[in-house]
Structure 1
């Protein structure tokens, strides 16, 4: 039951420490505008997220302030102290919150003085104009500092990701350039060998047999072959070289050709097959030299294809990570975001084994994929730092996904030394970091938690110990509005 009683008297108002320094005129003004609200026990007076319309001051009874975090209601204050206040406590400030930051409920039958937010603002500004300006400046200064540091954190993170991406792109790009240069040389050599063959008076029929032999060699080189030991590889090269010598290839050239043919999956019997299939008194040094450049050309084209595919995959991962061409809010599968983040952080994860424990057929969750990728980046980056010993990354990074009827869970685990005990209770607070001075701003986890809780209605929690740390992100399948 809730009831409103007549206005509070000036005498009772004067007994509250919040108003005791006011003059008679101000007390009368306040008493005229305030009213008294009476509540039964266990009644919600106001809820977190509702418009902040009033200031409440406890006259008698008890109040409990809670804030929703990590999927539960955290107790902020539980008191019976007369004069305790809550509600629109910052109504007078520039850019004040428009919603109640907490939920207040009674713990016993209670009486409250209620003052409208606008009246409270007028009272404070008239009584304490300098204090209002000072508090405004302090509040705006803190907000500006946090904003600047968050922006710096994002820029630093972007710089690290850009460096990682540049490194990952450079390797296949350099491989493609190198293979292209070698391919140009091999093509020139092929033309030279073909000219030597032409000088020997090739007939159309013989050219046909050579081309069929060439096609067969290429097809054979594309097939998988068993891995050989170093000794087996050496024996195979020797057998090919000896057979090439026997058919008339110069010894030096034979031992130059043999490793190429062996690497392509050929053997001594293949040499005999070529001689039998072509069946002509060719200059065999030129013929096998031509086949050698054919096989090397195919190998180089495969290298270019692999490098180009790798570059395309990296570009695809960047698009997946940034979601530049997708809707800002959508139903999403968390696994592609985790995978694209691993690609972006691949350089930092060098030396760390990534173990995936993904649940099949994971349900989609409503969310902002680009923002969730910031969460994965912070958690994976922190895990990599935790597993870096003497500047060398080592250890096992485990990514797990699972779901229940209400939510999807993503866990990021490292096998590092654990979070130091002196910061465990403050780990999600702004500017708290376990990294060396200058290595982190202490806003990464705070930003991750804000994205998970405020933007997605979920929770971010962790467990830690000497065997490692696990962060768990809970994302609801259906967010209540």
Structure 2
């Protein structure tokens, strides 16, 4: 800021010409005239700068000024005016030490501009004395809005968590039910296998043949573990071949046994070896014993797959929540994206295909992992909602054009964001969803996490059939 010595005093009558001060009485105008200074700033000069201590309340007297915010090193202008009486600077001085007194934006002189500067340390307390009720209302509005934002944001997180929990429960239920079902069947099959073994080993087969039978059983287990993948036609032909061979050897229930034997990779030469090892008299009992062996192996494979699926889901939930990790850490963005996709799987309709184009050579980056997962959740959920059950969700990672940031692009093939809506999508409480389906905080929260907390950027481009949100995250931790 310019020092007061470089400015000039204004008469109370001059101040009354400004719409901001026209309703003040003579005593109040005298107070302003005694403490403020009119200061001229040349075109291109910064009247005050974002982030610096807010020492002055600034009122435009003449010329044109702009207000801008810093977004990852770039000044983004959001207002420009030449109206005398427009103001900026220490606009929260009336709150005193209840909030950090810093400039929330930067004011630039677009042309040579004259502004009236009032010291914030005196202006703030005096305004509270002049307008006590108004100040109480403003203070209540300020802290009420902040509290409301926090409460609604927390509600947004809880709703998202509830939705994800429901999806995770559904995902866990399928493999868990499969494991329970396979275990129940396995118990019956093991009991049947013991019974058949007793029939085979009741003295009718000598030790040498029994040893050969056990070797065939081990071979059957290996065949079941490495059974070839067949088409439906190939499976049907194989079952016909096995069924015919069993019929020819008078094995009862041949067509019930054939599907199990084929699923276990059994072929006619192996059955012939079994017949040679047991003899025709005991072939049926031996075949059923082998069928039980194969079926138990297949069931154990199902249980193993189900348990592995459960373990994978639990690990994804752990990765998503980051419960066992520090809030700030070095992370691989692909781990976070994959965990989020797994958590959201139940919410993605079958008509939407998910495509991932990952640059696996990307280095790890410093980040707040759990909060980035919230960003991915918001962006993916919005993309899925926009496609109304049908389309393609594409997630692409890479370095940005500067090489200083990791770029994560989430694209959908929905109808796009209308041009008149696009400027408002990051505003808090703004939503295009029907009442009750969105709080309007998802993108606002995402913006604050990416821009404010990670010093990155979030950008959007949209046209019908192609909407892209691009998140840029710095490779190195900000100072």
Normalised by the size of structure 1, how large is the TM-score? 0.92
Asked whether the equivalents of residues 62 and 107 of structure 1 are also in contact (C-alpha less than 8 Å), the reply is yes
Partner of 1:65: 67
Secondary structure, in 3 states, of the residue corresponding to 2:361?
coil
Q: CA deviation at 1:86?
A: 0.9
Written as runs of structure 1 = structure 2, the 5 A alignment for 1:6-17 is 8-11=9-12, 12-17=14-19
2:401 is aligned with 1:399? no
Written as runs of structure 1 = structure 2, the 5 A alignment for 1:66-215 is 66-69=68-71, 72-93=74-95, 95-96=98-99, 98-215=101-218
Secondary structure, in 3 states, of the residue corresponding to 1:397?
strand
Q: Which moved more, 1:289-298 or 1:395-404?
A: 395-404
For residues 226 and 15 of structure 1, do their structure 2 counterparts lie closer, same or farther at Cα, with a shift above 3 Å needed?
Answer: closer
Of 395, 411, 423, the residue aligned with 1:413 is 411
Separation (CA, whole Å) in 2 of partners of 1:279 and 1:296: 20
Asked whether the equivalents of residues 66 and 102 of structure 1 are also in contact (C-alpha less than 8 Å), the reply is yes
Spell out, residue by residue over 1:114-155, the C-alpha distance to the aligned partner (whole angstroms, 9 max, x if none): 222221112211111111112222223333332232222111
For residues 319 and 303 of structure 1, do their structure 2 counterparts lie closer, same or farther at Cα, with a shift above 3 Å needed?
Answer: same
Spell out, residue by residue over 1:303-360, the C-alpha distance to the aligned partner (whole angstroms, 9 max, x if none): 0000000000001101111111122112222111111111001011131111111123
Written as runs of structure 1 = structure 2, the 5 A alignment for 1:430-469 is 430-469=428-467
Spell out, residue by residue over 1:404-433, the C-alpha distance to the aligned partner (whole angstroms, 9 max, x if none): 311111111111111234422212212222
Spell out, residue by residue over 1:384-405, the C-alpha distance to the aligned partner (whole angstroms, 9 max, x if none): 11111xxxx2211111111031
Q: How many residues align?
A: 473
Secondary structure, in 3 states, of the residue corresponding to 2:93?
coil
Spell out, residue by residue over 1:426-474, the C-alpha distance to the aligned partner (whole angstroms, 9 max, x if none): 1221222222221111111111111111111112121112213111111
Spell out, residue by residue over 1:247-267, the C-alpha distance to the aligned partner (whole angstroms, 9 max, x if none): 3422xx222211110111112
2:352 is aligned with 1:348? no
Partner of 2:307: 308
Separation (CA, whole Å) in 1 of partners of 2:170 and 2:197: 41
Partner of 1:364: 364
For residues 82 and 235 of structure 1, do their structure 2 counterparts lie closer, same or farther at Cα, with a shift above 3 Å needed?
Answer: closer
Partner of 1:327: 326
Asked whether the equivalents of residues 7 and 31 of structure 1 are also in contact (C-alpha less than 8 Å), the reply is no
For residues 235 and 39 of structure 1, do their structure 2 counterparts lie closer, same or farther at Cα, with a shift above 3 Å needed?
Answer: closer
Q: CA deviation at 1:37?
A: 4.1
Separation (CA, whole Å) in 1 of partners of 2:11 and 2:133: 26
For residues 469 and 88 of structure 1, do their structure 2 counterparts lie closer, same or farther at Cα, with a shift above 3 Å needed?
Answer: same
Partner of 2:240: 238
| Structure 2 unmatched ranges of 5 or more | none
Separation (CA, whole Å) in 1 of partners of 2:280 and 2:17: 120
Spell out, residue by residue over 1:191-232, the C-alpha distance to the aligned partner (whole angstroms, 9 max, x if none): 1111111224443323321111100111122224242333x3
Asked whether the equivalents of residues 93 and 135 of structure 1 are also in contact (C-alpha less than 8 Å), the reply is no
Asked whether the equivalents of residues 36 and 114 of structure 1 are also in contact (C-alpha less than 8 Å), the reply is yes
Asked whether the equivalents of residues 70 and 461 of structure 1 are also in contact (C-alpha less than 8 Å), the reply is no
Secondary structure, in 3 states, of the residue corresponding to 1:401?
strand
Partner of 2:382: 382
Q: CA deviation at 1:55?
A: 1.0
Secondary structure, in 3 states, of the residue corresponding to 1:138?
helix
Q: CA deviation at 1:478?
A: 3.1
Partner of 2:6: 5
Q: RMSD value over aligned CA atoms?
A: 2.3
Separation (CA, whole Å) in 2 of partners of 1:430 and 1:6: 40
Secondary structure, in 3 states, of the residue corresponding to 2:345?
coil
Asked whether the equivalents of residues 52 and 100 of structure 1 are also in contact (C-alpha less than 8 Å), the reply is yes
Structure 1 stretches of at least 4 aligned residues deviating more than 6 Å after TM superposition: none
Separation (CA, whole Å) in 2 of partners of 1:409 and 1:437: 33
Separation (CA, whole Å) in 2 of partners of 1:310 and 1:134: 56
Q: CA deviation at 1:105?
A: 2.0
Asked whether the equivalents of residues 48 and 108 of structure 2 are also in contact (C-alpha less than 8 Å), the reply is yes
Separation (CA, whole Å) in 1 of partners of 2:141 and 2:69: 24
Normalised by the size of structure 2, how large is the TM-score? 0.92
Q: CA deviation at 1:68?
A: 2.8
